[in-house]
Amino acid sequence: MKKILSIVAALGLASSLYANSNTGCGLGSIVIKNQNTTVLQVLAATTNGTTGSQTFGITSGTSNCDKPNNFVSNEKLHKFVNDNMDELAMDISAGQGETLNTLASLMNVENSSAFKANLQANFSEIYSNDNVTSAQVIDAIAKFA
C-alpha cells in the first residue's frame, strides 16, 4: 500500500511540474497563472469547463488558445460539400472546376494545384462507393489535404 501511495504522490508531483499542459487554454489558464500544484490545476481546468471559455477560446483564438487553421468554418464546409456532392465528385475526378476551387478556398489551402492533383489521384478513396456521405467525403479529403 505504501508503494502505491508513493507512486501516486510521485505522479502528482510530476504532473505539477508540467502545469499548463494539463489544463489547456481558457479562462482558467489566464486567471490561475501559477499552476504549480494539483489543486490549482484542477481549479484551472474546472474554471475552463464551467465557464465554457475553452471552447470559445479555441474557436476564436483567444484566452491563450490557438485557433485551428485547417478548417476555418466547419459549418460552411459541411454545408457546401453536402449541397454539392455530385458536382464536387466530377471536379475532383477532373482535377479542376468551380466546386473544387471553392472547396480549396473554404479549407484555406495554400497550394491549390497540389491539393487538386492529390484529390484527383485519390478520387476512388474519397468517393469510395455510391452511398458515401458528405461527412465521409470530408474525412477522406482531410487525409489528402
Tens digit of each residue's pLDDT, the chain (145 residues): 555 544 544 444 443 333 356 777 777 777 777 777 878 877 777 777 777 766 666 656 677 776 555 544 578 899 999 999 999 999 999 999 999 999 999 988 999 999 999 999 999 999 999 999 999 999 999 888 8
Which letter, b or e, does each residue of 27-57 get, where b requires 16 or more Cβ atoms within 10 Å of its Cβ? bbbbebeebeeeebbebbbebbeeeebbeeb
Distance CA 60, CA 107 (A): 17
pTM confidence score = 0.52
Q: How far is CA 124 from the centre of its chain?
A: 25
**The three grid cell numbers given for residue 111, joined into one nine-digit string:** 497550394
**The three grid cell numbers given for residue 38, joined into one nine-digit string:** 494539483
Distance CA 70, CA 145 (A): 9
